[in-house]
Amino acid sequence: MQTITLKSSDGAAIAARIYEPSGLLEGNVVIGGAMGVRQAYYEPFAKWLATQGWRVTTFDYRGSGDSAPDTLKGFKADLFDWTRDYEAAIDHAYDALPGAPLYLLGHSLGAQLPGMLTNQDKVSGLLSIAAGSGYWRENAPQLRRLILYFWFVLVPIATKLCGYFPGRKLRKVGDLPAGVIMQWRRWCLNPRYSVGAEGEAVRRSFANVRFPVLALSISDDELMTLQGTRSLFALYENAPRQIERIQPAELALRRIGHFGPFRAEQETRLWPRMATWLRGMAAPASAAA
């Protein structure tokens, strides 16, 4: 594993890690992380994927993980900035292996932002893990019971008092720049999520996506529902897209959940399927509603 610093298009420094492949080269994978999840969380999976022949890039969005400043109070960043950070990781990976396929493996937020990329032409496909629209009415039932308090009370008050969202102290999501959490709030309160909140330019950006999208929906996901997954990927309206539903019992597991796909116990269970799906994306999936 190699630790590097990337430069986003606006000059922001982005911490990234490169996992070089062993054996026959399959191509590039850029892992886009979930909201509030450090790139270190994906390290076991990234190391394993490299042994399967993939050059893997992980990164921390600005203001988070190894890309965080000494203090988030007053730190300027929003989800458009995080999309630029994603683009920087894609550009670096593409330049390293310009003739190889480059796939995005997006966990939650990491499968929401690709619709806003300006370098979509460098992407060969998106494998989405546990992602969906964050629209609150489509949240999983246990989350939906608490989410309006979160968005209308906890987030605005805590963010105003602290100058950022102190998620670690509150044990909610993680520490986030004020611009990120407040923009995410607008998305999650809109029935059409980012497209509804941001308008026509973002709708067109999603509509421009032509790379295939394969979404993994997990039946016991405590955050995302199947309907939420369908709603998100309907935004990729012109992309070949398909949803695979996974039950823990299929893998002889009691539970997977939102974060479980990247835990080490999946090395002999879910990870081989994920590698197979990546290889299979060379043949575009047929469009699915």
pLDDT in tens, 45-90: 999 999 999 999 999 999 999 999 999 999 999 999 999 999 999 9
pLDDT of 150 reads 97
Whether 204 contacts 218, CB under 8 Å: no
Whether 170 contacts 157, CB under 8 Å: no
State the CATH architecture for 2-133+199-280.
Answer: 3-Layer(aba) Sandwich (3.40)
Res 273 pLDDT > 90? yes
pTM for the structure as a whole: 0.94
Reported confidence tier of residue 283, pLDDT bands at 50, 70, 90: low
Cα 53 from Cα 55, distance rounded (Å): 7
Res 286 pLDDT > 50? no
Whether 187 contacts 133, CB under 8 Å: no
Give the rounded percent of residues in the chain with a pLDDT score beyond 90: 93
Cα 150 from Cα 144, distance rounded (Å): 10
Backbone φ and ψ of 152, nearest 5°: -100, -15
Reported confidence tier of residue 285, pLDDT bands at 50, 70, 90: very low
Q: Based on the number of CB atoms within 10 Å of its own CB, is 22 exposed (0-12), middle (13-18) or buried (19 or more)?
A: exposed
Nearest Cα to Cα of residue 17 among 44, 35, 51, 36: 44
Whether 203 contacts 214, CB under 8 Å: no
Cα 35 from Cα 105, distance rounded (Å): 14
Reported confidence tier of residue 104, pLDDT bands at 50, 70, 90: very high
Nearest Cα to Cα of residue 189 among 222, 152, 221: 152
Res 243 pLDDT > 60? yes
- Classify 27 as helix, strand or coil: strand
Three-state secondary structure string covering 248-283:
HHHHCCCCCCCCHHHCHHHCCCHHHHHHHHHHHCCC
Beta strands in the chain (DSSP E): 2-7, 13-19, 27-32, 54-59, 102-107, 125-129, 164-166, 175-177, 213-218, 241-246
pLDDT of 287 reads 41
